[in-house]
Structure 1
């Protein structure tokens, strides 16, 4: 009898979608729709395709070669100096960068609660979001955490889908946004849309999670790659729904907002309280899922650097590292540092690290002696190089913009 086709199962690709649809993405999509209508949908399509290309490499690395990206970097580094540089890159990309991102994730979840219930005791809400994220991470095992994140992603996706339906975007206007143009004063928004979708730490998260989730037989590797492509594509659809809801509800009426919470409050008179609750729930889900996945990525990658490799020691370190990232993020959020400053730090870190880590990923994926048949072929290399070049150009522009803005605020 012919072998039955495997049903689709969620996995690490869903975690990647949960990670990149964070408060930064929700805010960027909201501002893009409010300020430029549907004109920048193409940027989200490009960013989603680019993310699929890079994350497919991570899926093959983890599921097929049974390696995390951090471990593969160390194995590929030439000599002790190369190993030290690789370890430093991992620490910079994750331990430092994700602590800054984590504060924004926690605050984003708080903004979602405030959109639903109104402003209140923000410090207490910050601690509540941090405690919830910490409680999930204390589980310490991949499968239960994945199930929780899948449920949160479904909640978030459903909320934004219903919000888009309520605002009734014009399908023809939506399709017109597929033509690649950058409207006047829209360059930085374009960079933001792409930069918040292609996230460096997701490359570490995906490889480490894929190694735990999938077997290394050919069927499982194929399933891992398909799951990654489908999940990330659906994540891109959610981003497009957010932009479309903002374009239909705000751009057409000339309403200016500065965040997704503002959109939730502004559109209530026209579309009813359900719109406010849906966008607030979506923003809360985006903040909470990212508040879990950023520490996860850090814990997985740093675990790959530290001996011993026993299951008990890795579980213990996973809990310690991930909870530490949550605690640092909560402390930054409680310190009263302006959100603008946190965004500038995140922009600069992402702009510098994304092309560098993508280059290292390409280098690792061409080590046939290490990866065997999971190594890149010519088409994967071509697509990866194009993504890296564009990421480098956008990263450089984002860093320059962050520096310019920082100097202007002095």
Structure 2
């Protein structure tokens, strides 16, 4: 049975009839996954790469986008080709996937909730310095995100994300143009050259792996179904949508690398790591280009952070609702893509996870993040991407997927390289943790 949708009945996808060819009018889930995946941390990482190495690692940012295109396409292809959700697929691989996801989604959600609220609060506090404290702004952002996702269906959610992406796009492209990039050096940066430093390989792999989302890539298939796309007939539309998404992501990260290369690298200006690095950039922009440019950047900073907040609140809650439905109903419970997105969003599991993302993390805003929990969060977060890429290879090369839609040589090569990349980054993350202080 085709999934119901919240889009107007005049739109072809509401009837479940795929169009004959891809069109710009159908894009949507890709914009959502791009907006959610590109957070303030991604922009800072790219900005720092530009400030440290100029245009040398531009090629790595582009490769990062291509890797995420392959992962999101694989997740969407599974949903459309099989009529089953990604968690249905994971569950078929054994109970270990259920255990991993259960631990991951609880710990990750608790810490990420606080991080997302704090990230959204930073630009608001900078825009209104005489107003509320950072903690108060964080609580307000969390509550607004909760109310928005709780009371709106996918169609409204997608429109809001599209507007915020438009703000992000205008701001980042304007900044890139304002700093007057050296296009000759930029084109030279497309050659795969490593910086001349001790940890050049790992830093480069980190930039590739950090462009454009983690668990939100897995949520892409759920947004595809929420749009009303079910069945292989929507495959071309999904692939077009996915490519548009990561072309947009590429514009974001390349624009910020331009800003880092021209504004920071050339003048030797250093910024802080983490989201606060964007506040440092705001001060540099104000000194160089005036208050108006700095304020515009802070608006773009807020759009970047808040899209990640509401995107996770919506997408990961859909995944959690599917996870709980599978545990409650078992293989015959009908918890796959046949369950309407609106029905899943009205479930107690969806709303319960929304509350988990919002209220318990507020404690961390006021008390700081527990040391051991932060270590577990870092390790689980690093482990999710190899888990996603390697299980997608497994699922899409098995009899679980109709033969026509299984991986070809190119898909296997890209997903295999992605899996290797994320395994290396995961091992590095585990080794970098201060385990001696953990016990």
Tell me the TM-score normalized by structure 1. 0.88
| Counterpart residue number, 1:319 | 351
Give the alignment partner of residue 244 of structure 1, picking from 249, 258, 262: 258
Judge conservation of contact 2:271–2:280 (CA < 8 Å) in 1: yes
| Counterpart residue number, 2:37 | 20
Give the alignment partner of residue 157 of structure 1, picking from 169, 173, 180: 169
| Counterpart residue number, 1:285 | 303
Flag structure 1 segments of 5+ consecutive residues without an equivalent.
none
Residues 230/40 of structure 1: CA separation in 2 closer, same or farther (3 Å cut):
same
Trace 1:364-403 onto structure 2 (pairs within 5 A).
Answer: 364-401=395-432, 403=433
How far did 1:66 drift? 2.2
- The 3-state SS of whatever aligns with 2:172 is helix
Residue-pair matches, total: 399
Structure 2 CA distance for aligned equivalents of residues 270 and 6 of structure 1: 43
Structure 2 CA distance for aligned equivalents of residues 182 and 249 of structure 1: 21
Residues 341/154 of structure 1: CA separation in 2 closer, same or farther (3 Å cut):
farther
Flag structure 2 segments of 5+ consecutive residues without an equivalent.
1-18, 330-334
Residues 265/185 of structure 1: CA separation in 2 closer, same or farther (3 Å cut):
farther
How far did 1:116 drift? 2.9
Name the stretch that deviates more: 48-57 or 272-281. Answer: 272-281
RMSD: 2.7
Structure 1 CA distance for aligned equivalents of residues 375 and 194 of structure 2: 22
Trace 1:102-181 onto structure 2 (pairs within 5 A).
Answer: 102-118=113-129, 121-181=133-193
Name the stretch that deviates more: 351-360 or 48-57. Answer: 351-360
Structure 1 CA distance for aligned equivalents of residues 103 and 179 of structure 2: 41
- The 3-state SS of whatever aligns with 1:250 is helix
How far did 1:6 drift? 4.4
How far did 1:196 drift? 2.4
Trace 1:10-409 onto structure 2 (pairs within 5 A).
Answer: 10-74=27-91, 76-77=92-93, 82=94, 84-118=95-129, 121-183=133-195, 184=197, 187=200, 189-197=203-211, 199-258=213-272, 259-305=277-323, 306=325, 307=328, 309=335, 312=343, 314-317=345-348, 318-337=350-369, 346-401=377-432, 403=433
Judge conservation of contact 1:167–1:245 (CA < 8 Å) in 2: yes
Judge conservation of contact 1:295–1:322 (CA < 8 Å) in 2: yes
- The 3-state SS of whatever aligns with 1:215 is coil
Judge conservation of contact 2:46–2:256 (CA < 8 Å) in 1: yes
Name the stretch that deviates more: 88-97 or 275-284. Answer: 88-97
Residues 181/128 of structure 1: CA separation in 2 closer, same or farther (3 Å cut):
same
Residues 247/204 of structure 1: CA separation in 2 closer, same or farther (3 Å cut):
same
Q: In proportion to residue count, which structure has more helix? A: 1
How far did 1:393 drift? 1.4
